[in-house]
Structure 1
Amino acid sequence: LRLQRSKSLFAKRSDDCSTGELLERLGFSQRSIATLWEPLLSGIQLTSSLEGSARLASLILRCLIRGPAAVPAGGMQEIPRQMASNLPESAIRLGIEIEGVHNSQVFLAHGEKLSARRIVVATEQKTAARLLGEEPVATRSQWHAYFVADEPPNDSRAIHLMSVAQGPCRNLAIMSNVVPEYAPQGKSLIVVAGPTSGLEAPVYDAQQQLKNVFGNQVSTWQVLKAGIVAGAQPVFSPGSPLTKKKQKRTGILVAGDHRTTPSIQGALVSGRITAEAAINDY
C-alpha cells in the first residue's frame, strides 16, 4: 500500500540504504530474500547481491505492482523504430561518428560541423562523458544466453527466478511463450541472464544450473547466442537521486538512463524530461 501511494518507502533521499538492509528491516525471512528478492532485484539492478539502492528497488516494485511488464511483438527495435517513424527521413543520419559537442555545435569525425539552437546528447553515459569532456561513471555489466529448444520446459509466461546459490542465472524467460513470433515455428526461445564482472558469459555453469532445475532436456537446448553487455547500466548506489538536476550548458541538454534511473524506462523518462526542457527553453 505504501508503494502504491508514493514512489518509494523513503521520504528523503538521505534515508536511502541498501536493498538488503531494507528487506531485513521489514522483517523478511532469509529464505524469502534468497529465493525471491535477491534474484529479482539483483537481476534488475545488476548487483552481485542486494547492495543496490533500496529507494530504486522500491520504485521498481511500485512499477511492477501498478502495471504488468510488456515486450514489443516485433522486438525491442520497434521502440526506436516507432519514434523514428514520426520524423522525416532526412532528419536521421546513421553511421556518423561524432567527435565532440561544444556550445551549439556538433563536430563530426570527417570534418563536417553542424549547428543548432539546441543539442540533445542522448547516449549511454560513457559516450556522453567523452563528447562533453567529463569523467565516465562506474557501470554494471550483464551476461545473457539465448537457447533454442524443440519445446518449452513449461507453459509459463512468467519470469523464473533463480537463487544466487544455484549458479550464475538470476532469471529465465521463455520468450516464445510470451510472443510466439520470437522463435521459428515449432521452436521455443529461452533466455537466461544475470549480473557479471567477467569478460565471457558463463554458459557452461548456466547449463548445469538449468539441468538442476529442468532436468536432462536442457542438454538438447542449442545455444543461439551468448555474450556480455559491458556497462549495461550506470551504478545507482544508495543515496543517488532518482532524477539528476539539469546541467547548465549553453545550448546542450543530456538525456539517458544515467540522468534518471538505470533502465529502458529510465531512458524514456529522461527523454521526455529533456524534450520538455528543450521546448520550454527554445
Structure 2
Amino acid sequence: MSSTPPGPGAPAHAEVVVVGAGLAGLECARTLRDAGREVVVLEAGDQVGGRVRTDQVDGFLTDRGFQLLNPSYPALRHHVDVPALGLQSLPAGAALRTERGLLRAGHPLAAPRLLPDDARLALVRPRQTLAAARFVAPLVRAAATRRPAAALLSRGQDTTLRAALDRAGLHGDLRRLMDRFLAGVVLDEEGATSAAFVRLLLRSFALGTPGLPSAGMGALPHQLAAPLAGAVHLEHRVERIERTADGARVHHGGGSTGARHVVVATDGWAAEPLTGLAAPAPRGVVTQWWAVPDPPEHTGLLHLDGFARPRGPVVNCAVISAAAPTYAPAGRHLVQASAVWAAGAPAPQEQAMARHAAELLGAPGGPDGAAGWQLLVRHEVPLALPALAPPFAARPRVVERDGVVVAGDHRETASIQGALVSGARAARRVLEHPALAAS
C-alpha cells in the first residue's frame, strides 16, 4: 500500500488535536468530526494506521506483523464498512505438526471437514473434553449475562492463562495446540496473559472467522482515514504538550498547534513521555514473508509446532496466498511465519525461522525445503502489543492526565476491538468535557 503524502503543515489552532493516526486516533477523530468538531490529527509516521500497516513487495502484500481481522468484533460492525474491505477468510482451524505427523483441528460448525478420525482421536479424548469444558466454563457463564465481556473480565475470576489451563487439566496434543495457537495471538509464550482476556478472544473466534482484507490489513486504517481528508498531518511528531490559559499548545516537528482539547491516541510507549502515564510491558513479534515456487500445502491453515519440545522459534506459519489470493500475484505463492520476540531477548534468527516454517508446513526436504524460498521482507516489531497481565478489568474509565485524554489499545484490550472502542470513548469524553483550563 503506497504512502499517503504528508500534506501541508498543521494549522496554528484547532478545537481538538488528536495525537496519533492509529486505529484509536482515527476513530476518535471521526467521531469528533461527525459531531461537528474541528479536528487536527498529528501523526509521526508517513502513513496512517500505526501498527496496522501493509507493505507492497514485488507485487506481494505483506502486513507488518501477521494480523487478522475478526468480523465478529462489535466495534468493527459498528464503525467499519467490513464488506468494502473484501475480507478473505482463513480456514477456521489449525494444523498441529507432531511426532506422529500432522493433526488438524477445526471449528466443529465452521470447518467440520478439518476433523478427520485421526485428529478426533488425538484431540478429543473424554478426559480432555472435560478439561476443555472446564476452561471455557467461565465463557459459557458469561454468555448468559447481559454484559458478557464485563463478566469475563471480572477481577475476581482472573488468573494467568497458564494457571487456568493447568487448573482445567489440559495436557497432551490439545494443550500444545492451545499453547501455540494462543501464543501467536497474544505474543506470549509464557502463559502470563490474563486468562479472562484470552477467553474473550476465544469468544470472538467462536462468533466469527478471521480473515484478511483484499488490499491488506492497511486497508482498515485507510478506510477510517478517508472522511478525515485534510485533517491528518503525517510526519508531524509531537514532542511535548504545554498547558495554556485557554487549553493547550501541542509542539511538533512542524511548529505548534493550539487546542481547547488534546487526545493522545498513540501506543502506550509513545504516550508515556507525553502524558507521564506508565507504558505497559511490550510484546514483540518477528514476521517473515517468502515467495515460494511450489507451496507444500494449499489450505491456508495456520500450522503450529505440536512437538513435545518445539523444534524452532515459529509460533505459526501458513501459505497465506491459499486463503487470501490477493496477497500474491497470479500464479505465485506467499508464505508467512511469525515468532514471538520477548522483551530484552535477541530477535529470532532469519534462517532458524525459515527452517522451522518449512518443517511445520511439510515442505519437501523438511527443514531444508526452505532453500528455494525467496525472502521478501522481514518485519521486526518489538512493540507489537501491550502485555495484559491479570487481573484485567473490563472497560476501564477514560484516563486523563493533566487535562489530556489518553486513548489506545493499552487502555482497553490489546486488539483492534480495543483500539476502536478506546478511540470512540475518548471522543465522547471530549464531547462531554469542558475546555481545558489552567489550574
43-52 vs 7-16, greater mean Cα deviation: 7-16
1:166 paired residue number: 311
CA spacing shift, 1:14–1:106, aligned 2, 3 Å: farther
Aligned CA-pair RMSD:
2.3
Task: Say yes or no: does 1:203 pair with 2:350.
Answer: yes
1:8/1:176 Cα in 2 relative to 1: closer, same or farther (>3 Å)? farther
Tell me the secondary structure at the aligned position of residue 85 of structure 1: helix
Letter in 1 for 2:425: I
Matched, 1:280 2:420: no
Contact 1:148 1:223 in 2 (8 A): yes
Match of 1:27 in 2: 169
Q: Give the direction of change, closer, same or farther, for the CA distance of 1:276–1:109 in structure 2 (3 Å limit).
A: closer
1:111, CA displacement in angstroms?
A: 7.1
Q: Provide the C-alpha distance between the structure 2 equivalents of 1:107 and 1:262, rounded to a whole number of angstroms.
A: 27
Aligned match of 2:191: 50
Higher relative contact order (CA 8 A, sep 6+): 2
User: Aligned letter for 2:317?
Assistant: L
CA distance in 2, matches of 1:241, 1:259: 10
For the 8 Å contact 2:317–2:357, the answer to whether it is kept is: no
Q: Which moved more, 1:243-252 or 1:213-222?
A: 243-252
- How far is 1:192 from its partner? 0.7
Which structure: larger Rg?
Answer: 2
| CA deviation after TM superposition for structure 1 residue 273, in Å | 1.9
Contact kept in structure 2, 1:3 and 1:58, CA below 8 Å: no
SS across alignment from 1:248? strand
Give the structure 1 partner of residue 271 of structure 2: 128
- Report which stretch shifted further, 206-215 or 176-185: 206-215
Whether the aligned pair in 1 keeps the contact of 2:289 and 2:334 (CA below 8 Å) is: yes
Kept in 1: contact 2:321–2:327 (CA 8 A): yes
The equivalent residue for 2:233 is: 93
Residue 115 in 1 paired to residue 258 in 2?
Answer: yes
Asked if the contact 1:173/1:190 (under 8 Å) is kept, the reply is yes
Q: Which runs of 5+ in 2 are unaligned?
A: 1-139, 435-439
Equivalent in 379, 403, 407 of residue 255 of structure 1: 407
Deviates more, 1:192-201 or 1:125-134: 192-201
Amino acid at match of 2:251: L
Question: Using the alignment, how far apart are the partners of 1:275 and 1:8 within structure 2?
Answer: 21
Q: 1:101 to 1:173 in 2, by over 3 A?
A: farther
Which letter maps to 2:376?
L
Q: CA deviation at 1:8?
A: 7.5
Cα pair 2:285 2:341 within 8 Å, conserved:
yes
SS of match in other structure, 1:245: coil
Residue 336 of structure 2: aligned partner: 191
C-alpha distance in structure 1 between counterparts of 2:261 and 2:396, whole Å:
19
Listed one character per residue, the Cα deviations across residues 238-279 of structure 1 (whole Å, up to 9, x for unaligned) are: 102233322234542111110011123321221122223223
Question: Number of paired residues?
Answer: 280
Measure the CA separation in 2 of the matches of 1:176 and 1:211: 16
Paired position in structure 2 for 1:175: 320
1:10 Cα offset (Å): 4.7
Contact 2:286 2:341 in 1 (8 A): yes
CA contact under 8 A between 2:287 and 2:337: conserved in structure 1?
Answer: yes
Q: In the alignment, is the contact (CA less than 8 A) between 1:182 and 1:189 conserved in 2? A: yes
**Counterpart Cα distance in 1 of 2:333 and 2:347:** 24
Distance verdict in 2 for CA 1:111–1:194, change over 3 Å: closer
Determine if the alignment matches structure 1 residue 270 to structure 2 residue 413. no
Give the Cα–Cα distance (whole angstroms) in 2 for the partners of residues 137 and 107 of structure 1.
Answer: 24
For the residues of structure 2 that align with 1:121 and 1:9, how far apart are their CA atoms? 29
Q: Deviations over 1:116-162 (max 9, x none)?
A: 22221111111111111343332111111111112332121332222
Instruction: Tell me by how many angstroms 1:14 deviates.
Output: 3.0
CA–CA distance in structure 1, aligned partners of residues 213 and 280 of structure 2: 30
